[in-house]
Amino acid sequence: MAAVIEHKSYARVGLLGNPSDVYFGNTISFSLGNFWASVRLEPSIDLVIVPHPSHDLVQFNSISHLVNRLQNEGYYGGVRLLMAIVKIFHNYCKESNITLHDGNFTLSYDTNIPRQTGLSGSSAIVSAALSCLLDFYKVRHLIKVEVRPNLVLNAEKELGIVAGLQDRVAQVYGGVVYMDFDKNHMDELGHGIYTPMDVDLLPPLYLIYAENPSDSGKTMDDITIAAVSQGIVNISVHSTVRQRWLDGDKFIRSTIEEVANIAVEGRKALLEKDYNKLAALMNHNFDLRRRMFGDNALGAMNIEMVEIARKVGAASKFTGSGGAVVVYCPDGTSQVKQLEDACHKAGFTFQPIKVMPSFLNETDLQTLKSK
């Protein structure tokens, strides 16, 4: 029997520059070790996609159970994500003249990434599945690391999910990554310029999120968050902002450019370990997003999470488009304790962030060196 293959892909935090990744901007993101999705591939006679016992639930105790389930978590689980990446992977290999053997497999998945938290739960499942396919077909050396985030994104686009590359880059590379989505580079090569950074450059960071979010906003630019993958979020406001950008709206264009520059300045601040500057940039990033999208779009609960951190003097911003907040406490332990107490009083979950180092192996690194 061939060996069982299993890969994890971690949640991600957009530290600076989002949402400029979908506007040819710059971002800094990192892998969040607190949560992950895992995919298991086992060789089998037939090709089988296994529904998750809870995320792809089709058996209920009652009609009320079914209705409550759909209201809280939507119609979609992870099966369609696995099917989509298998199709995209197959088609890419065919178009690239990469030969795949005839063996079949069974794919199953699990995830502990909280839903509707903007931590890229959907793309984590797709990214982990892609890693399994690379190893099962022994083609890891033939598909460049820079290309893999596009495959993940294309699988999600296959399902009508419209998003940017930032999250998928962070999940494919691991660690901390500075991303430059220069338009000329994107037009020519189809991907950005991705520069890994030392995870030790980050100060201690913290995560705030709601276990059962009820008001996660009306717009999300990061469609990998569960609300959109479940088909329960209205993205009309984001569509309006994007259309204004496409139409050359001076305010939107200049604000997006300012957001992108935050990541450029943030990279310098991290390299110099200027954490006061980092704090200011985090706050400014959120303020610019709020200016563009408005409070109604961001959601009262999301704004409350940001403001609860700011009230104790901490820097805070969305990890993605809402649902969770990344926090830096410049005054140290006493400020952390003050914020933790405030979060618990408000009913939010508060925990230290664990940053995962890069998990690219030697074969992956060789593809980065090849032309």
Give catalytic residues, as residue numbers.
167
DSSP symbols for 141-202: GGS-TTTHHHHHHHHHHTTT----SHHHHHHHHBSEEEEE--HHHHHHHSS-EEEEE-GGGS
Under 8 Å between Cβ of 140 and 364: yes
Question: Residue 68 gets which letter from DSSP?
Answer: H
Cα–Cα distance measured from residue 254 to residue 237, given in angstroms and rounded to the nearest whole number:
18
Q: Which of 128, 173, 169 is nearest to 149 (CA)?
A: 169
Under 8 Å between Cβ of 124 and 9: yes
> What length is written for the chain?
371
Residue 53, C-beta contacts closer than 8 angstroms, at least 6 positions apart: none
Cα–Cα distance measured from residue 150 to residue 143, given in angstroms and rounded to the nearest whole number:
11
Residue type, 27: T
DSSP reduced 3-state for 1: coil
Residue 185, C-beta contacts closer than 8 angstroms, at least 6 positions apart: 191, 192, 193
CA distances from 105 to 4, 42, 54, 199 (A): 10, 5, 22, 36
Residue 31, C-beta contacts closer than 8 angstroms, at least 6 positions apart: 10, 11, 12, 170, 171, 173, 174, 175, 355, 356, 359
List b or e across 138-151, with b for residues whose CB sees 16 or more CB atoms inside 10 angstroms.
Answer: ebbeebebbebbbb
Report the DSSP beta bridge partners of residue 309: none
